[in-house]
Amino acid sequence: MNDLSSWVGGLASRVWEPQQKGLPFGSQLHASPPRRQRTLTGPLDPSQETIWHRLQVMSSVEPEQRTHLQEQCNFLSMLPLDIRMIIYDTVLGGMVFHIGTETDVRNRILTHICHHPETVGQGDHQDCFAPTFRRPSSAPRDDYPQATGLLPLLVTCRRIYSEAIGTLYSANTFDFWQNRVAFHFLKGMLPPQRLHSIRRFRWGMQLPHHPNLNARSRKDWNDLFTFFSRELSGLQHLHIKLNRNHPFEAMVEQTLDDDAAPWIQPMVLMAIEANRKRGCKVEVVTNGAVHDIEVIFTAIRKAHVNASRNRVVDLTCTEMHRRIRLSFDSHD
């Protein structure tokens, strides 16, 4: 009898084990920043020499290294800073970076410049990922004419780097479609002091299960939007697409709209606060339907002028969940 009880208990434990897992970005979200690397102390491993790795190395200044005025450079000595900033914005800004891994075994993270940034929210943009025989670089080649052109300017000298590097993060859109890559980039590759410079962030998120499935997933989900609020403090546009997943959709459909606050509220509170502070737009996309949280919140506040703020937030959560739930029915 004891053996049977042990077997049943072990079986139940194995059945429930997947439900105790957190969300796929949880461990990276809570990881410590990477150790500071010594700057320009030797050749880099070619398999790791991405633009972001080069910039991470460039960002670390050793005590003995100094930034010279470069007075012999006409660009720096004759043009005022505001004109130089316009040039940096023209050269380095206005792009969409599709960031993801290679399909080979090395699993390198590569940056692809979007060919059609005006339609970044439409279609799959497969032509932006055209393969080449050699690894993409920042300099043009016969087999890769669409070179980024980013590194040559930034690594010209430390003064230009210090003036221009913020533009690279603030004047472009970062687009991710893989959970692991998004947080490896944010927490493992990007210098922490650059997080606040990012203005536009897009993420096609794949959830293996509903964020409210268990305590660990709820914590990961709450911490995610705390991260967006506190560490990506310069965000002006956050676009999160929740990719279709049957377990996630099934739990959404089984949850009453009035009971959905545990997982909807972190999104709503982050969106309201970010919009109040800096006019940030937060969009959540489900099955092709775009949910602008601030628009929903504002409409409900106008419809319930005498309601308290907490009540308006609760009603916003209910309406947000209703729209998400209906989106899964409307495009099947």
Task: Give the whole-angstrom CA distance, residue 125 versus residue 84.
Answer: 33
How many domains does the chain contain in total? 1
From residue 220, alpha-carbon distances to 62, 142, 224, 227 in Å are 36, 45, 6, 10
Question: In the chain, which ranges are E strands?
Answer: 96-101, 109-113, 173-176, 200-205, 237-242, 281-286, 289-292
Output the pLDDT for position 192.
84
Asked if residue 55 belongs to a domain, the reply is no
Secondary structure of residue 163 in the 3-state scheme: helix
Phi and psi angles of residue 239, each rounded to the nearest 5 degrees, phi first: -125, 110
* DSSP helix/strand/coil, 236: coil
Residue 302 lies in a domain: yes
Mean pLDDT of the chain: 80
Radius of gyration of the chain (CA): 23
Crossing angle of helices 293-303 and 309-330, rounded to 10°: 130
Residues ≥6 apart with Cβ < 8 Å to 64: none
Residues paired with residue 300 on neighbouring β-strands, in sequence order: none
Query: Is 148:51 a contact under the CB 8 Å cutoff?
Result: yes
**Structural domain contains residue 177:** no
DSSP helix/strand/coil, 158: helix
CB of 276 closer than 8 Å to CB of 321? no
Question: Is residue 275 a contact partner of residue 287, using CB atoms and an 8 Å limit?
Answer: no
76 close to 69: Cβ distance less than 8 angstroms: yes
Which residues, 6 or more positions from 103, have their beta carbon under 8 angstroms from its beta carbon?
A: none
Q: Give the N- to C-terminal CA distance of the chain in Å, as an integer.
A: 49
CA distance 34 to 18: 30
Q: Is residue 7 part of a domain?
A: no
Across 94-108, 134-148, 149-163, 206-220, the highest mean pLDDT is recorded for 206-220
Query: Could you report the per-residue pLDDT of 262-306, keeping only the tens digit for each?
Result: 999 999 999 999 999 999 999 999 999 999 999 999 999 999 999
Domain range for 236 is 199-332
Q: Give the pLDDT mean for 199-221.
A: 94
pLDDT grade, residue 50 (50/70/90)? Answer: low
- Residue 175 pairs in a beta bridge with 98, 202
CA gap 20, 177 in Å, rounded: 25
270 is a domain residue: yes
Among candidate residues 88, 237, 112, 113, the one with its CA nearest the CA of residue 166: 88
Least confident of 55-59, 86-90, 313-317: 55-59
Does residue 139 form part of some domain? no
For residue 165, is pLDDT > 50? yes
pLDDT at residue 243 greater than cutoff 90? yes
Model confidence pLDDT, tens digit, residues 94-138: 999 989 886 654 567 788 888 777 766 666 655 565 554 444 455
